[in-house]
Amino acid sequence: MSRILFATSEAYPLIKTGGLADVAGSLPRALLGLKQEVRLILPAYPEARARMGKARTIASFELDSHQLNLLQGRLPGARVTTWLLDCPVFFDRPGNPYLNEQGQVWPDNAERFALFSKAVSLIAQGKAGIDWRADLVHCNDWQTALVPALLDQESRRPATLFTIHNLAYQGLFDQATFTKLGLPAHLWHHEALEFHHQLSFIKGGLVFADSISTVSPSYAKEILRPEFAYGLDGLLRHRRQVLSGIINGIDTNEWNPGTDPRLQQNYNRRTLAKKIIYKTALQQHFKLAEAPDTLLFGFIGRLVEQKGLNDILASLPAILKTPVQFVFLGSGQQEYEQALRELAAQYPDKVAVQIGYSEDLSHRIEAGADAFLMPSTFEPCGLNQLYSLRYGALPVVRKVGGLNDTVIDSTRENLENDSATGIVFTGTAGDDLLDALQRTQKLYTNKAQWKQVQLAAMRQDFSWRRSAQAYLDLYQTSLKRNPKPLLT
Ligand code: ADP
């Protein structure tokens, strides 16, 4: 049994902006099931505090002239011991973990997450007044990437694993910020945190962690190439011996059409016909034409370039000349929000958009949509396609990253051997997506084949069982890689 400190900036259901929260909310629970001693730690945002409910202060300590409290409670719905790091000046604010209510990044994000990382490294070493220390710290994304760099200063330390959930977000700040944070001076070096005269938080993880992982095997290979790595491919190639990819699992209690409390009538593979109830409900909710036989695509996600919005906007006008419907749920860049609204205004009975975030509606879209649109230009893992498989909404995806690892194209051969689970396309132009949408339409006209693919999709097992075991193996490897292990 190992003592694992799982450090993250978000964890569902305490606080969520994206896939990291889903992982942080479900992997620790799976690890607990594998008999590990896990502690989940994240900042004490007001929402997280409120949702955690009962909590008690287990430590108080001073760090960089801030008085910090560590609150202990449980992750709702799980037995995972959860620690919220309370530092009101930095974390007791409205808005999401990274942005204010106007959608702008908090100007002191470097200070906020540097302090969080410093606190995590103290807590991991048992230096914050708690009678517990970690054998391994599992850090996630740039907000916790300084932890491996800080621990590297120590003569004895826990092992470290750094997981990249999205390499596009690196935590880049200017040199003055580096000075302000009071980090050890020697870390200002191109073989440490400096990246083209900037401070790069993510390099703390990439340079110093004993192991690096990312959230799919394909993405682990892609980020060794310049097109996917934003200048970090050289460093990643240098560390490729310790880099691996583990596909994310999904919370199969949360995402299960057979038990989903958001669905009045649950369905499974044997009662798939009930999906029509949710399709009709979706058409009503979005005020689209109530057409049971019209192919309905769903889209849920951040409205950013990564999610393939340029290709969607380029290919939709052509496909909208045919009988088809689209529902979009998401928020993000204004120009995409605006373009989708305009499309909906132009095709009111075919396209509908809800700008915003709704956990509830996202479940109902998965249940009601025939197909799920996810043409991301890159996708470290992607969760929505996994939810879609489970809900029998066939994913239409580009062959990148985790999408490539989880969806099997409906080629003639794959249809014949009953392995097809969706539509996979290659290429980077709007035409490639248009072609994929047309292929989806063609498949949809063959009701028997469509159902066969739906059933195959719903049979897929992306529960945490396998992936949590893979993390456990990686923890063991990381413990062996740690050159300065703790004395037991
Ligand atoms: P990313 O982490 O890049 O945003 P993922 O597919 O890995 O993409 O995970 C996104 C998660 O956030 C999924 O659980 C998805 O359902 C959820 N999500 C994204 N946007 C919305 C939204 N507008 N409403 C509800 N859920 C959303």
- Produce one character per residue of 294-329: b if its CB has 16 or more CB atoms within 10 Å, e if not: bbbbbbbbbbbbbbbbbbbbebbeebbeeebbbbbb
> What residue owns the CA closest to ligand 1's atom 24?
357
User: How many whole angstroms separate alpha carbon 381 and alpha carbon 348?
Assistant: 33
Which atom of ligand 1 is closest in space to residue 22's alpha carbon? 14
Q: What is the mean pLDDT of residues 303-331?
A: 97
Number of neighbouring beta carbons within 10 Å of residue 334: 11
Q: Which of 169, 262, 362, 400 to mutate to test the pocket of ligand 1 (most atoms within 8 A of CB)?
A: 362
Number of neighbouring beta carbons within 10 Å of residue 61: 16
Q: What is the pLDDT of residues 153-181, one digit of tens each?
A: 999 999 999 999 999 999 999 999 999 99
Distances (CA, A) of 187 to 63, 149, 328: 20, 8, 44
Q: What is the pLDDT of residues 176-222, one digit of tens each?
A: 999 999 999 999 999 999 999 999 999 999 999 999 999 999 999 99
Query: In the predicted model, is pLDDT for residue 380 greater than 90?
Result: yes
- Strands 394-398 and 423-425, by their bridges, are parallel
- Reference 148, options 388, 483, 436; nearest CA is 483
Residue 174, beta-bridge partner list: none
Distances (CA, A) of 329 to 55, 281, 299: 34, 15, 6
Span from the CA of 382 to the centroid of ligand 1 (angstroms)? 8
User: How many whole angstroms separate alpha carbon 209 and alpha carbon 192?
Assistant: 12
Those residues whose C-beta lies under 8 Å from the C-beta of residue 85, and which sit 6 or more positions away, are: 41, 42, 43, 44, 68, 69, 70, 71, 91, 116, 119, 120
> What residue owns the CA closest to ligand 1's atom 4?
18
Span from the CA of 384 to the centroid of ligand 1 (angstroms)? 7
End-to-end CA separation in angstroms for the chain: 13
Q: What is the mean pLDDT of residues 73-85?
A: 97
For residue 148, the model assigns a pLDDT of 98
Span from the CA of 358 to the centroid of ligand 1 (angstroms)? 10
Q: Which residues approach ligand 1 with their CB closer than 6 A?
A: 18-19, 22, 166, 300-302, 329-331, 357-359, 362, 381-384
Query: In the predicted model, is pLDDT for residue 46 greater than 90?
Result: yes
Q: Which of 383, 387, 391 to mutate to test the pocket of ligand 1 (most atoms within 8 A of CB)?
A: 383
Residue 394, beta-bridge partner list: 371
For residue 269, the model assigns a pLDDT of 97
Q: Which of 27, 164, 307, 384 to mutate to test the pocket of ligand 1 (most atoms within 8 A of CB)?
A: 384
Q: What is the pLDDT of residues 233-278, one digit of tens each?
A: 999 999 999 999 999 999 898 999 999 999 999 999 999 999 999 9
For residue 8, the model assigns a pLDDT of 98
Span from the CA of 359 to the centroid of ligand 1 (angstroms)? 9
Q: Which of 299, 357, 361 to mutate to test the pocket of ligand 1 (most atoms within 8 A of CB)?
A: 357
Write down the pTM of the prediction. 0.95
For residue 49, the model assigns a pLDDT of 97
Span from the CA of 213 to the centroid of ligand 1 (angstroms)? 21
- Reference 139, options 224, 232, 42; nearest CA is 42
Domains of the chain with bracketed CATH: 3-249+465-481 (3.40.50.2000), 269-460 (3.40.50.2000)
Q: What is the side-by-side strand order in the sheet with 172-173?
A: 172-173, 198-200, 194-195
User: How many whole angstroms separate alpha carbon 129 and alpha carbon 48?
Assistant: 23
469: part of which helix (H) or strand (E)? helix 464-481
State the chain's mean pLDDT as an integer: 97
Query: In the predicted model, is pLDDT for residue 1 greater than 90?
Result: no
Which atom of ligand 1 is closest in space to residue 165's alpha carbon? 2
DSSP 156-207: S--EEEEEES-TT---EE-HHHHHHHT--GGG-STTTTEETTEEEHHHHHHH
User: How many whole angstroms separate alpha carbon 435 and alpha carbon 376?
Assistant: 15
- In degrees and rounded to multiples of 5, residue 419 shows phi and psi of -105, -10
Query: In the predicted model, is pLDDT for residue 468 greater than 90?
Result: yes
DSSP 228-258: HHTT-HHHHHHTGGGEEE----B-TTTS-TT
CA atoms within 13 A on the CB side of 317: 7
User: How many whole angstroms separate alpha carbon 298 and alpha carbon 289?
Assistant: 15
H helices within 209-333, ranges in order?
217-222, 226-229, 233-238, 275-285, 309-319
- Reference 146, options 167, 160, 127; nearest CA is 160
Joined tokens for residue 285: 């909710």
Residue with tokens 């409290």: 69
Span from the CA of 403 to the centroid of ligand 1 (angstroms)? 14
Q: What is the side-by-side strand order in the sheet with 243-245?
A: 56-63, 66-74, 81-86, 37-43, 3-7, 136-140, 159-164, 211-214, 243-245
| In the chain, % of residues over pLDDT 90 | 95
Q: What is the pLDDT of residues 429-462, one digit of tens each?
A: 878 999 999 999 999 999 999 999 999 999 999 9
pLDDT confidence band for 288 (50 / 70 / 90): very high
Which atom of ligand 1 is closest in space to residue 248's alpha carbon? 7
Query: In the predicted model, is pLDDT for residue 419 greater than 80?
Result: yes
Those residues whose C-beta lies under 8 Å from the C-beta of residue 176, and which sit 6 or more positions away, are: none
For residue 488, the model assigns a pLDDT of 66
- Reference 224, options 215, 216, 232; nearest CA is 232
Residue 6, beta-bridge partner list: 40, 138
Span from the CA of 17 to the centroid of ligand 1 (angstroms)? 7
> What residue owns the CA closest to ligand 1's atom 17?
18
Residue type at 447 in one-letter notation: K
Joined tokens for residue 488: 């037991």
CA atoms within 13 A on the CB side of 433: 25
Residue 66, beta-bridge partner list: 63
Distances (CA, A) of 333 to 228, 309, 382, 462: 21, 10, 19, 31
For residue 151, the model assigns a pLDDT of 98
